[in-house]
Amino acid sequence: MIRLILSRLGQMLLMMAAVSLILFAVFDTEKYRKRIAVAELGGLAVSALSQSDYDAWLDKKGLNAPLHTRYVNWIAGLTRGDFGYSIEKDTAVGPLVGAHLARTGLLALFTLALVIPLALLLGVLAGMREASRTDRTISTIAIVTTSIPEIAIAIFLTALFALGLGWLPAKSAMHGGFEMSKLVLPVLTLVIFDFGYITRITRASMAQVMGAEYIRTAVLKGLPQSRIIVRHALRNALIAPFTIIVLQINWLISGLIVIETFFQYGGIGKLLVEAARFGDVQVIQAITLLAVAAAVLSQLISDIGYAWLNPRMRSGAPA
């Protein structure tokens, strides 16, 4: 297990280094440097920026140094928590991203708290009796919800509950503080879209386990079905769903960009869209690095959990 963790941590550091270098090289261009210079020197058009003012600004910022020197300085700043300065928001990137990340974390927390038990329960119920009416009903619902795009679900729920019935607000911008009612539509949209995939994986895993020889042996011994499910089937059946649930964090991040923008929810996804439209390079770099870190850490957690749930992985036996 320790060997696996050290290996994954090494891979994570290499991936983060590669991504940070690519990010720095992509945005370290004359075009973006001039855009930042214009914003900091008064917001004039790029064409109105004199060469002397631009050269003086480059000297002040140390941007005339070689590429590798600037990259090392940038990485050193990141290790100190200095993510740069947002031109659009006129504030430090670190606190700005942190505040938006907290709102996104709240949205993700409510979503996962509903998705995980719902998907596991439905998946287990469907897999316990393969090809039964319960299995067909749950599988159909899961397939239908998974096939509908998030934006379509968001539009339908908004039209029904906000514009039609008037039960919920159509926008989720929390300018006056936290309001639970404004979280309902974004969370419900994400739950409807995400639970189906986990349900189908859980159902397939449970159905496979229920057909295993040791389960048939337990049935022939006359053991109660509840004991067979809880004591013998669930542990093995949850191996695949566990890895999918952890990796679902990556899909959730991409889905949050769409949902937060649609509902005007002030999270990290909406901030990224605004930064991309404005060309706020420092914010884009910070959010991208955070997304990569979340993706790599979720993969690490998935590997550790899989090794813990699967005894063959811990003993080194072939899976």
Residue 187 lies in a domain: yes
Cβ neighbourhood burial of 130 (10 Å; 0-12, 13-18, 19+)? middle
CA torsion sign, 162 to 168 to 174 to 180? negative
Q: What does the alpha-carbon distance between residue 184 and residue 165 come to, in Å, rounded to a whole number?
A: 14
Question: Distances in Å between the alpha carbon of 54 and those of 46, 50, 64, 208?
Answer: 10, 6, 11, 66
Q: What does the alpha-carbon distance between residue 312 and residue 319 come to, in Å, rounded to a whole number?
A: 6
At residue 49, the 3 state secondary structure works out as coil
> How high is the pLDDT of residue 179?
74
Same domain, 38 and 125: no
Question: Distances in Å between the alpha carbon of 310 and those of 120, 158, 285, 288, 318?
Answer: 18, 43, 38, 33, 11
**Domain carrying residue 282:** 94-315
> How high is the pLDDT of residue 49?
63
Same domain, 123 and 258: yes
Same domain, 121 and 259: yes
Same domain, 106 and 204: yes
Q: Point out the domain boundary residue: 50, 82, 114.
A: 82
Cα 75 versus chain centre, distance: 24
Residues 6+ apart with CB under 8 A from 143: 196, 200
> How high is the pLDDT of residue 141?
92
Same domain, 246 and 309: yes
Same domain, 40 and 185: no
Q: What does the alpha-carbon distance between residue 105 and residue 38 come to, in Å, rounded to a whole number?
A: 34
> How high is the pLDDT of residue 318?
46
Same domain, 140 and 215: yes
Same domain, 73 and 155: no
Same domain, 142 and 197: yes
Residue 87 lies in a domain: no
Cα 145 versus chain centre, distance: 19
Structural domain count of the chain:
2
CATH number of domain containing 183? 1.10.3720.10
Question: Distances in Å between the alpha carbon of 172 and those of 17, 56, 148, 260?
Answer: 36, 44, 22, 8
Same domain, 70 and 152: no
> How high is the pLDDT of residue 54?
72
> How high is the pLDDT of residue 18?
86
Residue 178 lies in a domain: yes
Residues of the chain with pLDDT under 50: 315-319
Q: What does the alpha-carbon distance between residue 234 and residue 96 come to, in Å, rounded to a whole number?
A: 43
Same domain, 215 and 134: yes
At residue 319, the 3 state secondary structure works out as coil
3-state secondary structure 137-171: HHHHHHHHHHHCCHHHHHHHHHHHHHHHCCCCCCC
> How high is the pLDDT of residue 314?
52
> How high is the pLDDT of residue 136?
92
Residue 18 lies in a domain: no
Tokens of 125: 């119920």
Helix axes 181-210, 93-128, angle to 10 degrees: 40
Same domain, 57 and 183: no
Residue 14 lies in a domain: no
Contact 107, 183 (CB under 8 A): yes
Q: Point out the domain boundary residue: 61, 82, 103.
A: 82
Residue 19 lies in a domain: no
Residue 129: count of CB within 10 angstroms of its CB = 13
Residue 2 lies in a domain: no
Q: 184-241: per-residue pLDDT in tens?
A: 899 999 999 888 888 998 888 888 887 778 777 877 777 777 777 777 777 777 777 8
Q: What does the alpha-carbon distance between residue 297 and residue 36 come to, in Å, rounded to a whole number?
A: 32
> How high is the pLDDT of residue 178?
65
Residue 88 lies in a domain: no
> How high is the pLDDT of residue 248?
74
